[in-house]
Chain A
Amino acid sequence: MAPRVPKQGNVVVAGVGGQGVVLAGNIIADICLSHGLDVKKAEVHGMSQRGGSVSAQVRFGPEVHNVVVEQGSLQYVLGFEWAEALRWMPFLAPDGIVFASSERIVPPAAQRNRVGGDVSYPLEFLEHPGLRAVDAESLAKEAGNPKTAGVVLLGALSTELGFPVESWRDALARWVPKKALDANLRAFELGRAWKQAAPPKDLRPQRTLPAQFSLKLEEAWCKGCGICVDVCPERIWHLDDLEVARAATPERCTGCRLCEKLCPDFAIDVVQLQEIDLLTLTGGGA
């Protein structure tokens, strides 16, 4: 089937600082421009102490006035980091598609290095029919350069977005450094291959998944300093009228334990209830 150039659409690339989020946004915008579309692009660089969120929104069409993607209308999310991808789920259109790297990066306050980590994700999102976890990290290594994980995701996106594959390759050649181009093109192909080989997502209603973490608060010990409120990357805690911490949305807890570690009063316990496997659950395993 010959790819049909899309008339209009939008993509959000989400990740953390240093992952090439802005570059990926530029590549997508460039492809749209090369097909004569009008493009608006917005970038947000978060405060590094809050997890270093970086996102790029790209909107394209015959004529685009507004840079910001509205809630419920987001078509594609490329998540270079798992938790960052999930932050965009509420914006997703019902038939929206998310390709998210299963890599999880602990926010900087807790980290030793920016690798690995004990972070998970809210469960409600996992059941979204459009969400797929990709082991982009391994595929990038296979391509010969671990920094190409984002391009693996661009490869996956290229199978959905409709622009001719040559446009993608040309844009890559324009944007990535020459000496890294081969690895990037390999990563792009691996991303495409992953998408084409991935079985359709099992859309039968899932058994209800129990929460993975429970948050316990020793009320009498909490002094209302607000540290948990500000360090939680998922914004779960708030202070009530009596200046006592409350978990408003405990089901969103990713288990990063920042609140537990940074509470000066030992008031918070993050208890792990169970572990689940991302790739299997979202049909992303090859």
Chain B
Amino acid sequence: MTTAKELLRHEMMPHILCPGCGHGIVMNAMLRVLAKRHDNLDQVALVAGIGCSSRIVGYVDANTLHTTHGRALTFATGLKLARPELEVIVVTGDGDGLGIGGNHLIHAARRNVDLTCLLFNNETYGMTGGQLAPTTVKQAFTTTSPRGNTEPNFDAAALAKAAGASFVARGQAYRPDVLEEVMERALDHRGFSFVEVMTDCTEYFGRKNALGQGSDLLFTQSRSDQDVSRDLADWPTLRTPQGWQVRETQPLGVLHENERPTFEESLGLPGYSKREV
């Protein structure tokens, strides 16, 4: 069987992510899922925007497109229409996919394009120095919210569902097995599959909110065993030393799934039916 490691571009490793960056854990889970499904990634395309999260596609030995900030879904839609037989996965960040690229997200969901969008939500703009993102929870500290964020944040999964995504799920770096299962189901689903993955920027979000680094930060994602055994764990309520809540409680797992015609089907696109899972 292929291993996750075998799907890397070894000449590019080690990757640029900071020590302990949650994106690496999510990438690891993603490659384990792909390794289960494919011997090689010739029929898989990874399309990314700009950001630390988007950067990971450069390390994967698949067809990869590193595009412009926020536009990964538009490139992916074009690619999908031109090469409907490919398994297309969009790798995006919360800044990339919900900030500058938020508009593309709702339209890809509305059209029900048959692709899988993995949104790495670390509640910040990691690559540019830890600025406030549309996903930063209230009161959290970022480079641009030095007195604590005053804005409410997006619920990415709820947004995708409302916009028409036919599959919506949420995973977490801390629970790699739940994450793998959710990703597998997202890839199996025909139509727009949206997976929000809660992960962590150790360098900025973790440091600025005194959540610790490495495993300490990772463990802030933990919740009680009962929640996990119901396959619906929560994002913990976590407070800064000042007593402010910086981790909201959010459900994990598959949150929504329905069947409706995909964009490709509505177009009557020839060759589309080749992508049989």
Contact = CB atoms under 8 A, between A and B. Distances in A.
Interface stretch (B25-33, B72-80, B98-106, B142-150): B25-33
A262 B25 contact: yes
Contact of B5 (A17, A227, A266): A266
Interface stretch (A26-34, A103-111, A207-215): A103-111
A229 interface: yes
Interface in A1-40: 17-18
A152 B205 CA distance: 49
B222 A109 contact: yes
A227 B14 contact: no
A109 B14 contact: no
Contact of A264 (B28, B174, B178, B222): B28
A265 B14 contact: yes
A231 B29 CA distance: 16
B62 to A, nearest CB: 15
Interface in A222-275: 223-227, 229-231, 261-266, 269
Given A48-B224, A269-B5, A112 B231 contact: yes
A206 interface: no
A108 B15 CA distance: 28
B214 A108 contact: no
Contacts of A261: 25, 28-29, 32, 176-177
Interface string A76-114: 000000000000000000000000000000001111111
Nearest to B233: A108
A111 B218 contact: no
B32 to A, nearest CB: 7
A261 B224 CA distance: 20
A52 B228 CA distance: 13
A177 to B, nearest CB: 19
Contacts, number: 98
Contacts of A109: 174-176, 222
A227 B218 contact: yes
A265 B19 CA distance: 8
Given A223-B14, A230-B215, A265 B222 contact: no
Contact of B25 (A112, A221, A264): A264
B228 A227 contact: no
Contacts of B22: 264
B181 interface: yes
B81 interface: no
Contacts of A17: 225
B126 to A, nearest CB: 13
A196 interface: no
A221 to B, nearest CB: 4
B19 A225 contact: yes
B229 interface: yes
Nearest to A243: B19
Given A49-B222, A225-B214, A266-B4, A112 B19 contact: no
A221 B17 CA distance: 11
Given A48-B222, A266-B5, A110 B19 contact: no
A145 B69 CA distance: 56
A49 B219 contact: yes
Contacts of B225: 17-18, 48, 52, 108, 114
12 contacts: A48-B225, A49-B219, A114-B225, A225-B202, A227-B218, A262-B25, A262-B173, A264-B19, A264-B28, A266-B5, A266-B28, A269-B3
Interface of A: 17-18, 48-49, 52, 108-114, 218, 220-221, 223-227, 229-231, 261-266, 269
Q: Which 3 A-B pairs have the closest CB atoms?
A: A264-B24, A225-B20, A230-B215
